[in-house]
Structure 1
């Protein structure tokens, strides 16, 4: 599924709450921009049986009091199953379109970044997408949309 199809699916499956579908379309350019820099259209994410994504807390090597919470996204099922957390019988590996993973980052305020392991078999190096960088990109796209939108006429004009 290409990125446009992923965005359409995300839009179609969004809760019809009057806000989420519009939010999907508003940030779609940012989703596509980041997803386009990654190597795979889908990744495997570790998930508990109650459908919660498994996150990992990493400690800074030199600054022991500094931590961050990350989500791992694996290029292959074999890579996901090779992760220590997947040894837990309550954890499964599920394929998720890349734009959907990125969209979840907006809602998952507990994670600081997502690490995408792009090279099958290599879990030593990944592409990290930081929450703050992603949020700045979203803000930039939203500001561009607002500037491009035509000004509405005054309400008292009749």
Structure 2
């Protein structure tokens, strides 16, 4: 499924109100821009038995009190399987959906995307705060007065 189809799927599965649809359409260019930087249209994410994405806590090597929560995503099911010993299974998730869900996941600091199959050493981090900032900038350009922006959109 290409990126435009993924955006359409978000719209089709959104609550049936004009505000949500307008919000998705407003932020779609940001989601597509980020998603287009990656080689694959879907990635594999570990899910536990409750179908929740598995979070990994990363701690700073020299500052033990500094940590962040990340979700690892993989280009192939094999890479996902070789990277995790947690119960559950890797699930294929469209890249647009990954980015869209990251916006609202307050307990998650970043996605780490391993874009090259077989390479689990060089992932690309997408910080939730950076994504929210890009969306905020996009919304300010579309709605300079701020009047029509839903307060909880980004």
**TM-score normalised by the chain length of structure 1:** 0.86
What is the distance in 1 between the residues matched to 2:43 and 2:30? 18
In the other structure, the counterpart of 2:15 is 15
Change (3 A) 1:138 1:46: same
CA contact (8 A) 1:48 1:54 kept: yes
In the other structure, the counterpart of 2:86 is 88
- Does the alignment pair 1:140 with 2:122? no
In the other structure, the counterpart of 2:119 is 122
List per-residue Cα deviations over 1:114-134 (Å, max 9, x = no partner): 000001111111011011111
In the other structure, the counterpart of 1:51 is 51
Return 67-76 or 9-18, whichever deviates more: 9-18
List per-residue Cα deviations over 1:49-87 (Å, max 9, x = no partner): 222111110001222110000011100000011122xx3
Root-mean-square deviation (CA, aligned residues, Å) is: 1.8
Larger radius of gyration: 1
Q: Which runs of 5+ in 1 are unaligned?
A: 150-158
Secondary structure (helix, strand or coil) at the match of 2:143 reads helix
Q: Which runs of 5+ in 2 are unaligned?
A: 147-154
CA contact (8 A) 1:38 1:127 kept: no
Alignment of 1:24-39 (within 5 A): 24-39=24-39
- Does the alignment pair 1:107 with 2:104? yes
Note the C-alpha offset of 1:19.
4.1
Note the C-alpha offset of 1:20.
3.1
User: Segments of 4+ in structure 1 off by > 4 A?
Assistant: none
Number of residues of Structure 1 aligned to a counterpart in Structure 2: 146
